[in-house]
Amino acid sequence: MSISSFYPPQRILMGPGPTDVHPKVLQALSRPTIGHLDPAFIGMMDEVRTLLQYAFQTENGCTMAVSAPGSAGMEACFVNLIEPGDKVVVCINGVFGNRMAENVVRSGGQLVKVEDDWGRPVSPDKLEEALKAHPDARIVAFVHAETSTGVLSDAKKLCSLAKQHNCLSIVDAVTSLGGVPLFVDDWGIDAIYSGTQKCLSSVPGISPVSFSDAAVAKIKGRKTPVQSWFLDQSLVMSYWGGKQKRSYHHTAPVNALYAVHESLLNLREEGLSNAWQRHAEQHETLRLGLEKLGISFIVDEACRLPQLNTVAIPDGVDDETVRSRLLDHYNLEIGSGLGAFTGEVWRIGLMGYGARAENVALCLRALEETLN
């Protein structure tokens, strides 16, 4: 078999992620690799932390980028905050809430599930009921932006309920960060994780995380060691540092962090509120165009994610045939349904650099030509 260098096709990524990587980010990725303890690299890591604090709207010192994808950020939050026997309420309204529940069980926690229908936001009333029924609960966890359904939940309200009932909160912001308003400190979020491949428009494989002082105190006060060596936050902190001298923990993905640095810089230069507004505006143009084509949204307007548009596949239309045609004829990727929504919906992403007028126009033209 003859094997030569791999050149990927040029796609336009309008699925649930990864999304189109900003050209400046791709350039940053190809800069020369330096040692991960090189003072220049360490200086850049400090800047990544500052930029992440801006993106998350937090002053948490314990803010960093986990050297692995969003799933590792999720796991980092659960394994560090849960001690065996801790009762954890997980709100589930899609695939990623279910993964949180799995993490609770595997971390030795006692799981309490609060379930909502797919396509609906997490119900604060149901959470409150569960917290009243379980006064010994220690943690509340939920997904801010459910990528499997395109639904936004009210993170501010859910975190304030957690606080009223003396619980720490764990929030999944993989799809929300950079795409919709998110205020870690103002909303009192204790542990949050995200991904770089969605609204940050960087390459996949890195997970920004941030822990509040209360979360750090819980980690420091653990009676049992965190079962994961790699994700043990107290060890990772010695590498991401704060005041102490950096020491080797693992070899950082040097170039991927250049990319994250560049993508966060893009976000800061644009400004968070401008980025949120751009996502909302592009979503509005897409919505009008899709509705003209007779394609309807499955999520109520009030809780729709602008960056992830979940629409019903029109009757009589074959999911695979349309998506393959979009890919083959237009180099355009849109997402299929996940879990219970497989074959029922398409998920059209407008994330980060992908949330641009030309992408919206291409998607509408390609769907119109393909469906008619």
Give contact residues for ligand PLP (rule: CB under 6 A).
Answer: 16-17, 69-71, 74, 96, 143, 147, 172, 174-175, 195, 204
Q: How far is the CB of 118 from ligand PLP (least distance, A)?
A: 13
Q: Please report the DSSP string for 101-121 in residue order.
A: HHHHHHTTPEEEEEE--TTSP
| Residue of minimal Cβ distance to ligand PLP | 70
User: Alpha carbon of 85 to those of 81, 127, 257, 330: distances in Å?
Assistant: 12, 20, 36, 52
Q: How far is the CB of 243 from ligand PLP (least distance, A)?
A: 30
- Looking at the Cβ atoms of 69 and 314, the one nearer to ligand PLP is 69
Q: Are strands 137-143 and 87-92 parallel, antiparallel or unpaired?
A: parallel
- Looking at the Cβ atoms of 20 and 165, the one nearer to ligand PLP is 20
Q: How far is the CB of 193 from ligand PLP (least distance, A)?
A: 8
Residue with tokens 């291409």: 362
Q: How far is the CB of 290 from ligand PLP (least distance, A)?
A: 22
133 Cβ partners below 8 Å, 6+ apart? none
- Looking at the Cβ atoms of 119 and 195, the one nearer to ligand PLP is 195
The maximal CA–CA distance of the chain, rounded, in angstroms, is: 64
- Looking at the Cβ atoms of 61 and 150, the one nearer to ligand PLP is 150
Q: How far is the CB of 204 from ligand PLP (least distance, A)?
A: 6
Q: How far is the CB of 147 from ligand PLP (least distance, A)?
A: 3
Classified as helix, coil or strand, 314 is: coil
- Token code pair at residue 201: 């428009």
- Looking at the Cβ atoms of 152 and 364, the one nearer to ligand PLP is 152
- Looking at the Cβ atoms of 93 and 147, the one nearer to ligand PLP is 147
82, 254 Cβ separation under 8 angstroms: no
- Token code pair at residue 274: 């401008």
Sheet holding 332-336, edge to edge: 12-14, 332-336, 345-349, 308-312
